[in-house]
Amino acid sequence: MLTAGRLAVPLLALVLLAVTARATAHLPLTTYVGDRQVLLVLLAVATVALFLPPMLAPARGRFAVLAVLALTWPVPELAGWSLAPLELRTLAQAAPPVVAALAVVAVLPAGPSKPRARSIVRLVLLGALTAAGAELVLVDPFLDPRCWRTCDHNPFLVAPWQGAGRALQVAGTVLVAGGAVAAVCLSCCRAGRPSGGRVAREGVATLLCTAALLSGTAGAAVLRLVVRERADSPAYVLLFVLAQLGATGWALSELRAPVRQWWLGVRLRRLAGAVRSSPPPGSLAQVLRRALRDPALEVLYWAPGREAYVDPAGHPATPPRNREGRRTTLVARQGQPVAALVHAPGLDGASLDRTLGAALTLALANEQLRAANLAELDELRSSSVRIVERAELERRRLERNLHDGAQQRLVSLALLVRMLSVQSQDVRAVQLAERAALLTRLAVDELRRVARGIYPAVLSDGGLAAALLDVAESSVDLAIQLRSVPQGRYSRTVETTAYLVVAAAAQDARSGQAGTLRIFGEERAGALHLELLDDSACDRTAAVRALDDQVRALSGVLDVERRSDSTVVRLRLPCAS
């Protein structure tokens, strides 16, 4: 937001720039821009560029530094204004080390909150105050044979200690130059962190502008200690141009982040207007990809019940902080986590979080609720499938126990009874033994039929097609016709459920006094489809309907249609052949 303080900076800077341009228009010997319109244009462009960051971009801690830098940038040229008050000219002549120090503090990449940057700030400010203070109170330009701009007696002179003043100027200037070198080194470290793409190119461009800015300001301050400053000196003119170009480029690089954030806000506001109150799952991620121009952007939602992130469909997702080559922005609402945006590293996550706005945050919160509910539903389905699988394992275990335990003992008993009937001489005992052998055989047959109904061994060995063929061949009281049956193998739960539905349909058909049961089956669109048609006269479908919960647990559909003279059972089970 543009406050009165931020608006005052460009107004004062423009006034100073206008005064400087007017005052130095015809001073070719005491100013750089006196008869060089190109240099005046460069100075004007640099001044305008420097007051844009404090007006639009900076944090509170840097506002004062950037504002003072923008306001003092054209001041050194006023030292050559012969019609100005001597006090103003003297202050302007002492300003270059201060301007250089402000430039160093402004370009520090880590900010004054870090210990290393804070030490550099103290270093350069101490150097600037030392050099400028010595210039103001200890040095008389009138006694300096190398004086160029303001060469009258110093009105602020406290003690005419020319030698001590020059020594302090040298010491302060060296401190400022050392701080400038340290700032360039820190900028090099920051530019070297990103890898590849636009981020690396922008980092190098900012580094070059920073080096040019500090070289032009601090370099000129150092050069004044050893070489006489003149308006026609190629070295000083080069440093002047370098400082203006560096200041312009660096200020524009400072504006990249706020301009991007503004443009991002524009795109997101348009997006917020286009997003419906209840978009389809995943559509919000699509529109965010288009708005942020990141085709690989992912939106993961926090599922409180699972204490994990899920995708828009409710499926478990990889934790966002484990992604390589991507950045993660966490979105919260009322202090509670909502979503994680996994995006390209060139996108500023903090700016994105600030720019999302209430509408998009609410849309993300709504989709989070849906994704969390889908995750719970998915977990419920998985739990139901595990229950069905567990029941199927229990059936197999029971069938195996019956086959390997009770059935084998009955077979052994039948053999012993038969041997007893052969060896016995008593007619009554032989009759009883034969009767016992018959009952034992019947018990074995009944046990085999029960075991086959629990879990037929042929289902495990030959698959669904072989198991249905066994059912059809073993049925003596109901004609079972296999019109078409898929020959592929499916998961155990799918084959077992399909077999149980067929067995239940056959049981209902017998209860309804049907004569024929026809079975049609096919695999279509990733699902197993079975249709069972009988000619029963009565509505007997209890056995089939009892399997509805098991079919639903596998995300299947079981439909029973009763017609006037027949019953149709339709089964659809998702499968993977």
Question: 304 and 239, same structural domain?
Answer: no
Q: Which domain holds residue 563?
A: 461-574
Which residues are CB-neighbours of 96 under 8 A, at least 6 positions away?
76, 217, 220, 221, 224
- pLDDT at position 172 over 90: no
Question: 501 and 356, same structural domain?
Answer: no
Angle at 396 between CA 392 and CA 398, to 5 degrees: 115
Share of the chain above pLDDT 70, in %: 79
Q: What pLDDT score does 196 carry? A: 42
- Could you report the per-residue pLDDT of 421-463, keeping only the tens digit for each? 677 667 777 777 777 777 777 777 776 666 656 666 677 778 8
- Could you report the per-residue pLDDT of 538-553, keeping only the tens digit for each? 777 888 888 888 888 8
In a domain, 422, yes or no: no
> Mean pLDDT lowest for which of 260-274, 307-321, 560-574?
260-274
- pLDDT at position 524 over 60: yes
Q: What are the two backbone dihedrals, phi and then psi, of residue 275, each rounded to the nearest 5 degrees?
A: -75, 130
- pLDDT at position 34 over 90: no
Using the 3D structure, point to which of 262, 289, 315 is the last residue of a domain: 262
Question: 176 and 237, same structural domain?
Answer: yes
Question: 366 and 315, same structural domain?
Answer: yes
Strand partners, 299: 341
In a domain, 68, yes or no: yes
Range 180-200 average pLDDT? 66
In a domain, 449, yes or no: no
- Could you report the per-residue pLDDT of 271-303, keeping only the tens digit for each? 655 555 556 666 677 777 776 777 788 888 888
Nearest by Cα to 300 from 314, 283, 280, 288:
314
Question: 293 and 179, same structural domain?
Answer: no
**pLDDT top residue among 522 and 325:** 522
Which residues are CB-neighbours of 156 under 8 A, at least 6 positions away?
87, 90, 136, 137
- pLDDT at position 2 over 60: no
Using the 3D structure, point to which of 375, 402, 421 is the last residue of a domain: 375
In a domain, 394, yes or no: no
Range 84-113 average pLDDT? 82
In a domain, 220, yes or no: yes
CA distance 533 to 480: 10
Radius of gyration of the chain (CA): 45
- pLDDT at position 420 over 50: yes
Question: 507 and 365, same structural domain?
Answer: no
- pLDDT at position 211 over 50: yes
In a domain, 429, yes or no: no
- pLDDT at position 195 over 70: no
Q: What pLDDT score does 112 carry? A: 44
| Highest averaged pLDDT of the listed ranges 199-203, 287-291, 353-357 | 287-291
Question: 307 and 244, same structural domain?
Answer: no
CA distance 113 to 323: 30
Domains: count for the chain: 3
Using the 3D structure, point to which of 308, 340, 375 is the last residue of a domain: 375
**pLDDT top residue among 29 and 56:** 29
Range 341-366 average pLDDT? 68
How far is residue 173 from each of residues 119, 136, 145, 551, measured CA to CA in Å? 16, 14, 20, 85
- Could you report the per-residue pLDDT of 361-412, keeping only the tens digit for each? 677 777 777 777 777 777 676 666 666 666 666 666 666 666 666 667 777 7
Residue spans of beta strands (DSSP E) within 449-504: 479-484
Q: With bands split at pLDDT 50, 70 and 90, how would you rate the model's confidence at 533?
A: very high
Q: What pLDDT score does 202 carry? A: 65
Q: What pLDDT score does 517 carry? A: 92
Sheet of 336-343, strands arranged across: 308-310, 298-303, 336-343, 327-333
Q: What pLDDT score does 165 carry? A: 82
In a domain, 37, yes or no: yes
Which residue's entry shows tokens 């993300």?
Answer: 364
CATH number at residue 535: 3.30.565.10
Question: 283 and 367, same structural domain?
Answer: yes
Question: 184 and 146, same structural domain?
Answer: yes
Q: With bands split at pLDDT 50, 70 and 90, how would you rate the model's confidence at 356?
A: low
Average pLDDT, the chain: 79
| Highest averaged pLDDT of the listed ranges 103-107, 146-150, 251-255, 570-574 | 570-574
Q: What pLDDT score does 273 carry? A: 58
Q: With bands split at pLDDT 50, 70 and 90, how would you rate the model's confidence at 488?
A: confident
Question: 347 and 248, same structural domain?
Answer: no
- pLDDT at position 191 over 80: no
- Type and span of the H or E element at 177: helix 162-192
- pLDDT at position 245 over 90: yes
In a domain, 114, yes or no: yes
Which residues are CB-neighbours of 325 under 8 A, at least 6 positions away?
345
Range 183-199 average pLDDT? 63
Give the count of beta carbons closer than 10 Å to the beta carbon of residue 453: 15
Question: 296 and 184, same structural domain?
Answer: no
- Could you report the per-residue pLDDT of 60-72, keeping only the tens digit for each? 567 788 888 888 8
> Mean pLDDT lowest for which of 231-235, 312-316, 523-527, 561-565?
312-316
Share of the chain above pLDDT 90, in %: 7
CA distance 391 to 402: 16
Q: What pLDDT score does 519 carry? A: 92
Question: 35 and 171, same structural domain?
Answer: yes
Q: What pLDDT score does 113 carry? A: 47
Q: What pLDDT score does 197 carry? A: 46
Q: What pLDDT score does 11 carry? A: 83
CA distance 459 to 505: 17
